[in-house]
Structure 1
Amino acid sequence: MGIVKISEAMHENLRVASDALSRSINAQAEHWMRIGMLAELYPNLDHSDLCRVLIRAELAGGLDVKQLCVLADLSQSAQVDAASGAKP
């Protein structure tokens, strides 16, 4: 565990979001980091796809960058198959 320094404005954003979503400030920051990490790795996935990837990662044993990449690849393949009409 480490310390991450953020601006006062971002801390306030985290505080508001964490209150609204019933999360701790740390849990909200971690959620945003997870979503942001996946969004950078896979910019073609929308928010609901990213959330599905996170849920699959949790079911597979937790958040691991290597596992997230595999799961995101599977999600992308499923989208391509669905768009082309292929059966899984």
Structure 2
Amino acid sequence: MGIVKISDLMHENLRVAGNALSRSINAQAEHWMRVGMLTEMHPELNHREICQWLIRAELAGGLDITMAVTGQLGTPSAPSTEKH
């Protein structure tokens, strides 16, 4: 574990978003970093597809940069046309 210095404004943004989504400040920061990492590495993916990757990664033991770069988690599935 390491320490990352962030601005006071970003810390407040993390606090607000974390409270709204029932996450700690650290969990919210890690979530945004994961989403940002996948967005930079796979700009063709939308938010839904990135969330699918994050779920697959969690089921596979956690997201690491090797999975993100090599696409080991596969391609996110197409949206379902089935109504719920």
TM-score > 0.5 by shorter chain: yes
Percent identity of equivalent pairs: 64
> CA–CA distance in 1 between the matches of 2:32 and 2:7?
15
Aligned partner of 1:7 in structure 2 is 7
* CA gap 1:53/1:71 in 2 versus in 1, 3 angstroms: farther
Q: State the 1:46 CA deviation.
A: 0.5
The RMSD of aligned alpha carbons is 1.8
Structure 1: any 5+ residue segments left out of the alignment?
Answer: 80-88
Q: TM-score, normalised by structure 2?
A: 0.83
Distance across 2 between alignment mates of 1:35 and 1:46: 10
SS across alignment from 1:62 = coil
Return the offset for 1:11. Answer: 0.5
Please give the alpha-carbon distance, in whole angstroms, between the structure 2 residues aligned to 1:24 and 1:45.
26
1:61 shift after superposition: 1.4
Give the number of aligned pairs: 78
Moved over 4 A (4+): none
Larger radius of gyration: 1
> How far has the Cα of 1:32 moved from its partner?
0.1
Greater displacement, 54-63 / 20-29: 54-63
How far the C-alpha of 1:22 sits from its partner, in A, is: 0.2
